[in-house]
Structures are given as C-alpha cells and as structure tokens.
Amino acid sequence: MVRFNPYTNQKFLRGAIVCLSALLLGHLLTGCVSIKVRANKDEAAVKKIKRLFVLIQHGDIGKQSYPDELAAAMRNAFTNTPVVTEISIANPLELDESVHRQQIDAFGGDAVLLIRATGGIVNQSGGYQKLLYDASLFDPQLKKRVWRARVDNSGGTWLMKRRFREMSESIVRQLKSDGFI
C-alpha cells in the first residue's frame, strides 16, 4: 500500500513546475518564425542579375527600426551571391520620390527590387505578429515588372531581426529558384 506523503508530493510538484517553466521559457526564447513566399515570374524576361537596386518602402507599419533591420538582413542575404546590391529606404514622409529614381539611374543596375509593406496583424501588446509584403522585381530596360511575390512574415515580436533575416533569405532563395540569381 502506497502512503501519501505531503512533503515528497510537494517536492515532486515543485520540480514538475520548474521543469515545465524551463521548457516554456526555452520555447519562448527560440520562438516560432514562419515565412511564406508565393511568387510568379515572366518566363520570357528571366535573366541573371549582376547589379540589383533594392528599395524598401515600409511606410508607418511597425517600429522605425524595422526598415533598417530589413535592409541589414537583405545586405547579408546577398553576401553569398554574385549580385552587387545597393539598398535604399524610402521615407514615408518624402515629398520628392524622384530621389530614388536618381539613385537607381546612378547605380545602373540590371533590375530593381521593390519591397513594400502592405499590412499586418497586431497582437494584444501592440507588436506585429504578422507582416505582409509585396516584393516586385522590375527590369529598367524592359520597363516592366518581371517577378512578383507576396511575403507573409509571422512570428514572435521579440524575434524581428530573425524574422527579417529569414524573410530576406527566403526572397533570395526564391529569386535563385526562379532563375534571376
């Protein structure tokens, strides 16, 4: 017959709570990140890009650091490719957007990648649980869009740098898969 011992049962319960707390904390720190990229391309316009100008239009979505974090992640994602990049961030209050056209022309790239934040879902604490982007690749010689993707960036709001890194890597991977890199 097993006897009930309140001291050992409390000790067991305390140990179980500590163990579950550690597992939960570990899960929260590693967190979940989900990046989904759905893309379409103009088959006739596929060519290898040597010089790419990236323009980020983040608008007022999220914190002011988000466009800078995305730009840094895009720079890192292109480091292992033969593509030379220049990255610019559009100010949501710019009155003269022709500045970017001048930068694009001065850079002389084969293509322009426009990454534009289109929306998101805010959680209870005010962080963006999900960010939605439209990524479009334009060929300046053809004067048309040759590739377009919808990017869903989801995960913990404390993991934004990781989310932007994985998003940038996913965009580059998709461009490779579609034959542009």
Q: Is the entire prediction scored with pTM above 0.85?
A: no
User: Of 122 and 83, which is predicted with more confidence?
Assistant: 83
On whether residue 25 sits in a domain, the answer given is: no
Looking up residue 155, the CATH number of its domain turns out to be 3.40.50
On whether residue 16 sits in a domain, the answer given is: no
For the segment 112-129, the average pLDDT, to the nearest whole number, is 89
> Would you give the distance in Å from CA 87 to the centre of its chain?
15
Helix locations, 3-143, DSSP H:
6-30, 65-77, 98-107
Average pLDDT, the chain: 87
Query: In sequence order, what are the residues at sequence separation of 6 or more whose Cβ sits closer than 8 angstroms to the Cβ of residue 105?
Result: none
On whether residue 144 sits in a domain, the answer given is: yes
On whether residue 5 sits in a domain, the answer given is: no
- The total domain count for the chain is 1
On whether residue 166 sits in a domain, the answer given is: yes
Domain extent, residue 99, equals 32-177
Query: In sequence order, what are the residues at sequence separation of 6 or more whose Cβ sits closer than 8 angstroms to the Cβ of residue 95?
Result: none
On whether residue 3 sits in a domain, the answer given is: no
Taking only the tens place, the pLDDT of each residue in 8-47 is 566 666 765 765 555 454 444 446 899 999 999 999 999 9
Is the confidence at residue 113, as pLDDT, over 70? Answer: yes
Range in 147-151, 154-158, 164-168 the model is least confident about: 154-158
Would you state the pLDDT for residue 27? 47
On whether residue 62 sits in a domain, the answer given is: yes
On whether residue 15 sits in a domain, the answer given is: no
Is the confidence at residue 144, as pLDDT, over 80? Answer: yes
